Amino acid sequence: MDLKISDILAPASVCLDLEVADKTDLLTRLVDVVSATGKVKDRDTLLKVILDREKLMSTGIGYGVALPHGKSSVVESSAAAVATLREPIDFDALDDKPVNIVLLLVGTEDNVGAHLRLLSRISRMVGTEQFRSDLLAARTVEEVLDLFASYEEERA
């Protein structure tokens, strides 16, 4: 069975209309919400993995979207967090545009295939204007979770 984003996105990991100071503040907040799910054994190590990955190359993929991600042995199973930002922030994105949708994906060291499939699925979703506008229009956690579930259902 292929892992779905809707399977690994906990309601507590959905942050709507988030206010952040900058990229590091944002990544720290998202690592914190994923860590709060209990799937992360060491929050500080995971934050370092995510920040180090970001230093290699920005995960700002364009269209106002960033997909920070990383794999670590401190993660028990794949987990995700999503945030829509009150004010777009500079993320060194590929298209030099500020970011207002961020999806953090963390995975285990030993399941690279699943991690890459999830990243690919997220990329396809946020690559469509309809998905991005629906996500930005979502006002409740349930709307966000339903959006991911229905999008994955349609394309299963």
The CA distance from 105 to 81, in Å, is: 7
Is the CB of residue 102 less than 8 Å from the CB of residue 80?
no
Q: Which two tokens stand for residue 137?
A: 């229009």
Name the active-site residue from 23, 29, 39, 69. 69
- Interstrand relation of 9-18 and 79-89 (parallel, antiparallel or unpaired): parallel
Q: Give the CA dihedral 139, 124, 39, 56, nearest 10 degrees.
A: -110
Instruction: Based on the residue annotation, tell me whether 115 is a catalytic residue of this protein.
Output: no
Active-site residue list = 69
